[in-house]
Amino acid sequence: MREYAKFGRIESSISKVKVQTTNIKALGTREGKDVNIEGRVQLDTMQVIIRDHKLSSYSLNNVSF
């Protein structure tokens, strides 16, 4: 598993995983993992959709519509 800790662009940097828990009233408690990868930008579009849109369902079909 150690070889996966070097996904960043900076070879001397080792990525670290931090578990974060979010409590959303409509969806309940969700657990995610925050990975710090030096030299790369990550964006979880599911979190953006949940934050910016009030949908009746967050299934793939409903979100893509």
Q: Find the radius of gyration of the CA atoms of the chain.
A: 15
Q: pLDDT tens across 8-47, in order?
A: 788 788 888 888 888 877 667 878 888 888 888 888 888 8
Is pTM beyond 0.75 here? no
Q: pLDDT tens across 44-63, in order?
A: 888 888 888 888 888 888 88
Q: Which among 46, 14, 6, 53 is positioned nearest to 30, based on CA atoms?
A: 46
Contact predicate 34/42, CB 8 Å? no
How many domains is the chain built from? 1
Range of the domain at 36: 2-64
